[in-house]
Structure 1
Amino acid sequence: MTTSTTTRRVATTDGLELAVTEYAGPQDAPMIVCVHGYPDNQSVWAPVATRLSRRFRVVTYDVRGCGDSDAPADRRGYRIPQLNADLAAVMDAVSPDRSVHLLAHDWGSIQTWAAVSGNIPAARIASYTSISGPDLDQAGVWLRGLATHGLAGARKRLKQLAESYYVFLFQAPGLPEAAWRSGLLEKLLAREVRGVESVPERRERDTINGIELYRANILGRLGRPTPRRVTVPVQVIAPTRDVYVSPAMATEAPVPYVDDLTVVEVDARHWVVLRQPDRIAELVAGFVTAHGGERGGVTGA
């Protein structure tokens, strides 16, 4: 399954350039902008984007430091406000006069939660689908519920903390870089995509640069969480066998803060966008259509 694409470069507010790809789709259709996670680049979206482009305009881009996009000179360039400024620059370039629908996975979701909770005007965003990536402020509050949600609630939170060991490992100077270069972390991740027909290439540049996302953002936001209300319609897709983001945190943490929340659990692992592109395309198409999409679901996906 293939579709034609066009590429361009979009300037950021701090002088970098991002590599942006638009999939050929109906020009009058709603636009979906996809934001990838770590340690991926925009190619991770190809199976889903190809299916969605039958009915919608679809745009993907390499987050700064990844793929063919430029990398910032230091850690400050990876902070979430700047990532959101990058997203806004892409949106302004590809859809200056119409709102867009956002679709994000993993670190793409983490950064985009901040966008939909006020870093980008809500009028620019028609809907948001988040997969396997929490809002760090919402997660910080949720994790603090160890002592207030009974034994079952405590178990869920302790399980998530155990599964997030790598988040704290990534704070150690030099250690994660050495683990990537030795091939150890790549072997661990390979288990998560075993059986997938076509796994996008992971470049060492992407994996090393992306570690700065964790160092620039995690501890500050989890340590001093300040969740904000989200008025954009949100769909959370939660893989039930995700070993990095527990279904409990993914589905429970947003509840107090999102005005219009839809939760869908999918029997899948973390990289559901690669394992089940038909299902993801179907869910996204339905949500986009329900929130301003003039066209129907993805037929034949």
Structure 2
Amino acid sequence: MVSWNRSTVTSGDVELAVFELDTPGAAEKRPTVVLVHGWPDTHHLWDQVAPLLGDDLRVISYDTRGYGESTSPEQVQAYTLDLLAQDLFAVLDAVSPDAPVHIVAHDWGSVQTWEAVTTEGAHDRIGSFTSVSGPNLDYLGEWARTNLSRPTPGNLGRALSQVASSAYTAFFQLPVLPQAFFSTFGSEKNWTEFLHAIEGTPRENVSFSPTLREDMVSGLRFYSANIREKLARPNPRPTAVPVLEVVNERDIALRPAIYELTHTHANKLWRKNTRTGHWLPYTNPRYLAETAREFITMIESGASSAPNTIDRARRLGPPQKLGGKLAVITGAGSGIGRETAYALAQLGCEVVLADINTAGAEETATECKASGVLTSVYPLDVADTRAVNEFAETVRKNHGVPDIVINNAGIAVAGPALAASDEQVDRLLDINLRGVISGSRAFGRQMVERGAGGHIVNLASAAAFTPSRDLGLYAASKAGVLMFCESLRAELAEHKIGVTAICPGIVHTNITSTTEIAGTEDEAGQRRRLDDFYAKRGFTPDKVARDIVKAILSNKAVVPVTPEAKFGYRSYRFFPWASRIAARQKLTK
């Protein structure tokens, strides 16, 4: 059970219950972080987060006015954001009068902190602000007006999506009815079941205040006092306080699009998108604590970047859907791996590049760095399972748990299966199949443990569903990848981790020039003719990279890329006999 030491801070006519985490044996001189809760919580929202921060931070929380052990004024106008911001500054002055304080805030706690950080002189008192599931209402009003004043299908779609997500706020502002509803149904048991149903919040080990029912009713004043005024007459103001927006992509109440204009007002803005829901302090306290500590450490040290992808400092443009994520790519020294690295770097991902050919990977890294992202290169032979596992641990230690993993490394063996050597077969399967399985398992375990979702992309091939007498071994390795992806996708779905099998057809990469061809005396000549044929086809790896990015954004299961791959995928499903007849044709002559 977490232990808090209670004190009281006065703000005007309100007495605020302030709590400091009891951390026996911790160093005295530590940066101070204040945790601010939202509706319908109290400081108990942070019971699981606070101990994870206590080793190297002095942790403070408080019950905001209207909640828990703090004063609850009756008048709605006692809950306007300017008064809530004054409360926050009163707490900061009391707990750390001589040094700036870091703030981590959720829901309405974040909304009122936005009011504070946009107050003149706030950067002298607030060292950083980690915002979780709570927008600046002035920025939100400006965003809504912008989208509605330019009624394109995209703008209207984003606006209507947010209106639907926020419909509950209209109910909360009605007279009598919401108060009666929460007075009747606002029990701890009902609230626990509701949170569990909407986003899987645990039924156990979740702390609520004994005053939960009363807090639900009292907190409704926050909505009545602020939402209509702010949305009708927004007054967006800038802030010089460093801000990290933790954008929960599965937030039931707030769509990611509403943060599109934050960068125009916050000149020290970082953003971290994650496939999590609104109640992150309950569902994944460790992830939130690690994210907040990482950001605070970065600000305290004066560094311009930090591990685990909080590195998109002082963004000068609107947010990108993959911006700030960490991507690991194997086989990144050329071809599809290289182009995918370029595409992800241009979208703001930190990229970790691995290849047995480190010189090629370094060339890829040079171009990625030109996009302004952190880029690292590691040597890796994916056929070595131990090396893959060690590589995954190195990435975790040096960069954090990746959000995206592209298992791309592969080779090809053509010619009759009966003519290939055992060594060729072993090497092919070790790289194409076992390498994919090893990478998926090593990084998949990390993603599951972190609990914040992710995406794994494995390179299969159109050969997985296009039988060929000359590509039997290669086809077998890629068919294994395809079925492994389908099965792993089902296994990881409950963890919000997507898995995609990319199935290109004839793509001109250096794999064709290095393909081993069994059962021929003119291997070099046949390889040259095969490479020439692929070159004339003209389908380049950058086009595959674009489809990989689309697959990540849309969480597609199987993606046939080239026209012949799309045809082959459907042909094998609906006319397998035709595929078997076509398989008798020789590719190598």
Superposition pairs for residues 212-291 of structure 1, below 5 Å?
212-249=221-258, 251-291=259-299
In the other structure, the counterpart of 2:166 is 164
Larger radius of gyration: 2
For residues 183 and 120 of structure 2, the distance between their equivalents in structure 1, rounded to whole angstroms, comes to 35
The AA in structure 1 aligned to 2:286 is D
Tell whether the 8 Å contact from 2:122 to 2:241 is kept in structure 1 after alignment: no
- Can you list the C-alpha shifts for 1:69-124, whole angstroms capped at 9, x where unaligned? 11113112111111111111111111010000011000001111010001663210
Q: Look up the SS of the partner of 2:254 in the other structure.
A: coil
Distance change (3 Å), C-alpha of 1:126 and 1:58: same
Query: Which stretch shifts more, 163-172 or 106-115?
Result: 163-172
The AA in structure 2 aligned to 1:216 is A
Tell whether the 8 Å contact from 2:247 to 2:272 is kept in structure 1 after alignment: yes
In the other structure, the counterpart of 1:131 is 132
- Can you list the C-alpha shifts for 1:11-62, whole angstroms capped at 9, x where unaligned? 1122x21111111243211111111000111100111111011110110100
In the other structure, the counterpart of 1:21 is 19
Q: Look up the SS of the partner of 2:131 in the other structure.
A: strand
Tell whether the 8 Å contact from 1:84 to 1:111 is kept in structure 2 after alignment: yes
For residues 70 and 246 of structure 1, the distance between their equivalents in structure 2, rounded to whole angstroms, comes to 33
In the other structure, the counterpart of 2:411 is none
For residues 10 and 198 of structure 2, the distance between their equivalents in structure 1, rounded to whole angstroms, comes to 34
The runs of 5 or more residues in structure 1 that have no matched partner are: none
Distance change (3 Å), C-alpha of 1:95 and 1:241: same
Query: Which stretch shifts more, 191-200 or 228-237?
Result: 191-200
Distance change (3 Å), C-alpha of 1:119 and 1:194: farther
The runs of 5 or more residues in structure 2 that have no matched partner are: 308-396, 398-449, 451-589
1:4: how far off? Answer: 4.3
Superposition pairs for residues 35-54 of structure 1, below 5 Å?
35-54=36-55
Distance change (3 Å), C-alpha of 1:176 and 1:231: same
Query: Which stretch shifts more, 154-163 or 24-33?
Result: 24-33
Query: Which stretch shifts more, 227-236 or 167-176?
Result: 167-176
Tell whether the 8 Å contact from 2:201 to 2:279 is kept in structure 1 after alignment: no
The AA in structure 1 aligned to 2:241 is V
For residues 273 and 232 of structure 1, the distance between their equivalents in structure 2, rounded to whole angstroms, comes to 23
1:201: how far off? Answer: 2.3
Distance change (3 Å), C-alpha of 1:28 and 1:97: same
The AA in structure 1 aligned to 2:123 is A
Tell whether the 8 Å contact from 1:37 to 1:105 is kept in structure 2 after alignment: yes
Query: Aligned Cα RMSD in Å?
Result: 2.3
1:247: how far off? Answer: 1.5
For residues 136 and 200 of structure 1, the distance between their equivalents in structure 2, rounded to whole angstroms, comes to 28
Tell whether the 8 Å contact from 1:84 to 1:120 is kept in structure 2 after alignment: no
Query: Which stretch shifts more, 200-209 or 158-167?
Result: 200-209
Distance change (3 Å), C-alpha of 1:173 and 1:119: farther
For residues 85 and 301 of structure 2, the distance between their equivalents in structure 1, rounded to whole angstroms, comes to 24
In the other structure, the counterpart of 1:10 is 9
1:189: how far off? Answer: 4.4
The AA in structure 2 aligned to 1:94 is V
The AA in structure 2 aligned to 1:86 is D
Superposition pairs for residues 142-161 of structure 1, below 5 Å?
142-144=143-145, 145-148=147-150, 150-161=152-163
Over the matched positions of the two proteins, sequence identity in percent amounts to 37
The AA in structure 2 aligned to 1:258 is A
For residues 266 and 151 of structure 2, the distance between their equivalents in structure 1, rounded to whole angstroms, comes to 20
1:193: how far off? Answer: 5.7
In the other structure, the counterpart of 2:70 is 69
Q: Look up the SS of the partner of 1:73 in the other structure.
A: coil
- Can you list the C-alpha shifts for 1:237-288, whole angstroms capped at 9, x where unaligned? 0111101011121x31312111011111111111011111111111111110
The AA in structure 2 aligned to 1:205 is E
1:147: how far off? Answer: 4.2
Q: Look up the SS of the partner of 1:265 in the other structure.
A: strand
* TM-score (norm. length: structure 1): 0.92
Q: Look up the SS of the partner of 2:205 in the other structure.
A: coil
Tell whether the 8 Å contact from 1:81 to 1:119 is kept in structure 2 after alignment: no
Distance change (3 Å), C-alpha of 1:236 and 1:195: closer
Count of aligned residue pairs for this structure pair? 296
Greater length-normalized contact order (CA 8 Å, ≥ 6 residues apart): 1
Tell whether the 8 Å contact from 2:2 to 2:47 is kept in structure 1 after alignment: no
For residues 273 and 192 of structure 1, the distance between their equivalents in structure 2, rounded to whole angstroms, comes to 15
Tell whether the 8 Å contact from 1:35 to 1:109 is kept in structure 2 after alignment: yes
For residues 119 and 198 of structure 1, the distance between their equivalents in structure 2, rounded to whole angstroms, comes to 40
Which of 189, 204, 208 is residue 201 of structure 1 equivalent to? 208
For residues 36 and 155 of structure 1, the distance between their equivalents in structure 2, rounded to whole angstroms, comes to 31
Tell whether the 8 Å contact from 1:104 to 1:129 is kept in structure 2 after alignment: yes
Q: Look up the SS of the partner of 1:22 in the other structure.
A: strand
Q: Look up the SS of the partner of 1:118 in the other structure.
A: coil
* TM-score (norm. length: structure 2): 0.48
Distance change (3 Å), C-alpha of 1:77 and 1:293: farther
Q: Look up the SS of the partner of 1:69 in the other structure.
A: coil
